[in-house]
Structure 1
């Protein structure tokens, strides 16, 4: 691991809901969530400002429910509520390791979370608090990937760190094809034209329009969040044409 200081001063970490479920595939695995909290603590100790967006797929997937016949808007709102549950769980885990954390929800629920207010979020970050953005964008038909892109730009993050279960972006599914080739870097257009599973097209286009890099890395390797922040050459970087 590099001895130099952090490469990024302000990051947005995007976690899938499934990442919190571990091998269970459903719900929240306390061991996984405590491990993630410990790694975020290490990054905070470097003086980096950290914001998070978490999906809700470990509890409820709006898209899957709508394809099974549920009204899409209702299903998406249920998915947003699932992200709030995950956000509160991670807030609890972070505060257990002495990281002050605020959850800001795009859907107002004052008893459990602050409403999303951009200037307040930026102020929390400046004070060294972790801010977790819950409930997506607050609108149906938009994914938590799009919420991550939007919030990252609103708070002035330098990069989106997209946590996955593999070592980066590959030209095929590495779980099914051992010969799959990993990309070290890609342009936004490569991702869109090749239909690579980085973030959905709306989120990728938003990042492209605002020149916000996306770094895809493996969350299942302990210590990787800190390595990415320090600029170690892991994962796949998606950015403008070099």
Structure 2
């Protein structure tokens, strides 16, 4: 166990697009393997880690709801998509001898575990990895909000937001080469300027509960571990 861990318990948010191809669609096994190796490194240093996965690589409920009759049912389909990603990630992690539990707000009997806070806290104390799936279990809430909610419920020291770029910028750095990266932001900076880091509900929840957020590039090796031990990566959002 590494002694210089800054954030002993962390919640990692990974969007569904992080599991897909260059367009963020489909299931790319290599992406799951890469992430699993990074999670394994965190497990080896003795940090407690929970993961919230999105499902946008398979289906985005909001997008489906825009063409169908029921946004509620569309979001339910999106919740199931997150379970698919969670189960893939669990299988690969177990192949690396990492003990992991898939806990879903949308229970699928004999496949996922229901969300019970006492059980989750015990898993974390035992240094098991938890993958939270199913979002919040309610329509109209994103997996960003689910990540903030679960982080607060498990008393996480930090929320790590894994993205395709190395932090929060003044503009889209992919489209605008002159965009500047922020090293540090307050919650109000994000809310007032609608920077699009996470949805506003997730930022508000984090602000109310003083939950710091680190936004970083998930494609850089050991970034998750670096963030947890306190090295400077990405953009820090806090008070």
Question: After TM superposition, is the score higher than 0.5?
Answer: yes
Instruction: Indicate the residue corresponding to 1:179 in structure 2.
Output: 178
Q: Do 2:16 and 2:24's aligned partners in 1 also have CA atoms closer than 8 Å? A: no
Is structure 2 residue 121 aligned with structure 1 residue 122?
A: yes
Aligned residue for 1:23, secondary structure, equals coil
Instruction: Indicate the residue corresponding to 2:193 in structure 1.
Output: 194
Structure 1 spans left out of the alignment, 5+ residues: none
After superposing the two structures, state which structure 1 stretch, 19-28 or 109-118, moved more. Answer: 19-28
Q: For residues 149-160 of structure 1, what are the structure 2 equivalents within 5 Å?
A: 149-160=148-159
The 2-side partners of 1:186 and 1:103 are apart by 32
Instruction: Indicate the residue corresponding to 1:23 in structure 2.
Output: 22
The 1-side partners of 2:113 and 2:180 are apart by 43
Cα deviation for residue 45 of structure 1 reads: 0.7
Aligned residue for 2:103, secondary structure, equals strand
Runs of 4+ in 1 over 6 A off after TM superposition: none
Cα deviation for residue 136 of structure 1 reads: 0.4
The 1-side partners of 2:98 and 2:75 are apart by 30
Aligned residue for 1:51, secondary structure, equals strand
Cα deviation for residue 24 of structure 1 reads: 5.5
Q: Which digits, 9 at most, give the CA deviation of each residue in 1:89-127, with x for residues without a partner?
A: 000111011100000111121210110001101101111
Cα deviation for residue 211 of structure 1 reads: 0.5
Aligned residue for 2:214, secondary structure, equals strand
Aligned residue for 2:216, secondary structure, equals strand
The 2-side partners of 1:34 and 1:70 are apart by 37
Q: For residues 184-223 of structure 1, what are the structure 2 equivalents within 5 Å?
A: 184-223=183-222
Q: For residues 139-158 of structure 1, what are the structure 2 equivalents within 5 Å?
A: 139-158=138-157
The verdict on how the C-alpha distance between 1:155 and 1:4 changes in structure 2, with shifts beyond 3 A counting, is: closer
The 2-side partners of 1:143 and 1:25 are apart by 17
Cα deviation for residue 23 of structure 1 reads: 2.1
The 2-side partners of 1:174 and 1:193 are apart by 20
The 2-side partners of 1:110 and 1:117 are apart by 15
TM-score of the superposed pair, with normalisation by structure 1? 0.96
The 2-side partners of 1:40 and 1:140 are apart by 29
Q: For residues 1-242 of structure 1, what are the structure 2 equivalents within 5 Å?
A: 5-23=4-22, 25-240=24-239
TM-score of the superposed pair, with normalisation by structure 2? 0.97
Q: Do 1:4 and 1:230's aligned partners in 2 also have CA atoms closer than 8 Å? A: no
Cα deviation for residue 131 of structure 1 reads: 0.5
How many residue pairs were aligned?
238
Q: Do 1:25 and 1:58's aligned partners in 2 also have CA atoms closer than 8 Å? A: yes
The 2-side partners of 1:208 and 1:150 are apart by 12
